[in-house]
Each structure stands twice: as structure tokens, then as C-alpha cells.
């Protein structure tokens, strides 16, 4: 079962930096994100969402590629490969258009973490700050906490156990404590 973690940061850019670091270690199979959203509350108080995970996971590109392959094969079968190719490209373009229209009307917007939840919780952060919302499928906790401990943050909400939430809270406060100790 996926775990939800929402962390607020004291400036506009830290959430982006944290996500970039998590993406870097995701390729090492240390972390598997189902969904990730950055929330920025600008100086005017307006909340902006940045959806960070491809909803279709490349399915549209894959569908067009398969369409070209099958269209070409069907065209060869009926002795007109050009017609098959053109038909498959038209079908791929049509599927892309349907996907775009569905996204515009919000039909695909609540994959992963619900947008309403993100907007509601995101509106509680201070102006000029950011937050990251993560839906995590799988995690190597020690390696991820070591990366996150470089940033000071405040937990907004999690679905973690109390023990794991405390480890995260300690990691987010760790670097800040070290800075105070060095000063």
C-alpha cells in the first residue's frame, strides 16, 4: 500500500530541490513514487500546483508506436502500407487529442493524490513557501532520510506509522540542529 507524505518548506524553491534529489535516487531503485506534486504559495497568497508524475507513464507515445506498427502491418496485408501508416498516425493523433481534452476538463486530474486535498492542505502553508506531496509505493527509508535530512521542513500530513513519522521529523530537523550547533 502506498504511503502519503506531505512536507512544507520555508521558501519557494526547496520543494523543487527535494523532488529533484528524490528523482535522482529513484533511478537507483531506492524510491518508487506513484505521485508527486509541488505546491507553491506565492507572495500574493495564490496556491500553484505542479503535477510532477506523468499520469500515463508514456502510454500515449507507446500507443502511437504500436499504432504505426499495426497500421503498417495491416497496410502490407492489404497491399497498401502507406494507407495503413496514415490511418495509424491519424488514430494516434485522435487518441492524443482525446487525452488532452480529458485533461483540460479535469477528467484525469485526480490520479494519485486528489487535487482537492492538495489544494486544501496547500492553502494552509505560509505565503512565499512551498510544499511537496509524495505518494510512495516503495522506499529504502535509510537512504531517503539521509537525502531529506539536508533540508529543514515541517510535516503537514503523513499516513506513516508513528515510528516512521518520528524518524522523518528527526531527519527534517537534523540539518537545522547541526547549523545551530556549528554557529
44-66 pLDDT, tens digit per residue, is 999 999 988 654 454 455 555 66
Q: What is the pLDDT of residues 107-142, one digit of tens each?
A: 444 568 998 999 999 999 999 999 999 999 999 999
Query: pLDDT at position 168, please?
Result: 92
Query: pLDDT at position 1, please?
Result: 79
| pLDDT above 90 for 86 | no
Nearest to 158 by CA among 2, 40, 6: 6
Q: What is the pLDDT of residues 61-82, one digit of tens each?
A: 555 566 666 566 666 666 666 6
Segment 165-181 shows an average pLDDT of: 74
Segment 23-48 shows an average pLDDT of: 91
Query: pLDDT at position 89, please?
Result: 58
How confident is residue 18, by pLDDT bands cut at 50, 70 and 90?
A: very high
Averaged pLDDT of the chain: 78
| Higher-scoring residue by pLDDT: 21, 99 | 21
pTM greater than 0.75? no
Q: Which residues contact 172 (CB under 8 A, 6 or more apart)?
A: 7, 148, 149, 151, 152, 153, 154, 155
How confident is residue 12, by pLDDT bands cut at 50, 70 and 90?
A: very high
Amino acid at each position: 500500500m502506498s504511503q502519503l507524505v506531505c512536507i512544507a518548506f520555508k521558501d519557494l524553491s526547496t520543494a523543487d530541490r527535494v523532488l529533484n534529489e528524490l528523482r535522482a535516487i529513484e533511478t537507483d531503485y531506492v524510491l518508487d513514487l506513484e505521485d508527486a506534486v509541488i505546491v507553491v504559495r506565492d507572495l500574493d497568497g495564490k496556491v500553484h500546483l505542479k503535477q510532477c508524475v506523468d499520469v500515463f507513464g508514456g502510454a500515449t507515445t507507446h500507443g502511437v508506436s504500436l499504432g504505426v506498427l499495426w497500421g503498417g502491418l495491416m497496410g502490407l496485408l492489404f497491399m497498401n502500407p502507406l494507407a495503413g501508416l496514415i490511418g495509424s498516425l491519424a488514430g494516434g493523433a485522435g487518441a492524443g487529442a482525446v487525452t488532452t481534452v480529458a485533461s483540460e476538463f479535469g477528467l484525469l486530474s485526480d490520479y494519485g493524490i486528489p487535487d482537492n486535498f492538495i489544494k486544501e492542505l496547500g492553502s494552509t502553508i505560509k505565503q512565499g513557501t512551498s510544499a511537496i506531496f509524495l505518494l510512495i509505493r516503495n522506499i529504502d527509508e535509510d537512504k531517503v532520510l539521509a537525502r531529506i535530512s539536508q533540508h529543514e521542513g515541517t510535516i503537514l500530513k503523513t499516513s506513516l506509522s508513528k515510528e516512521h513519522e518520528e524518524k522523518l521529523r528527526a531527519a527534517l530537523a537534523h540539518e537545522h540542529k547541526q547549523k545551530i550547533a556549528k554557529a
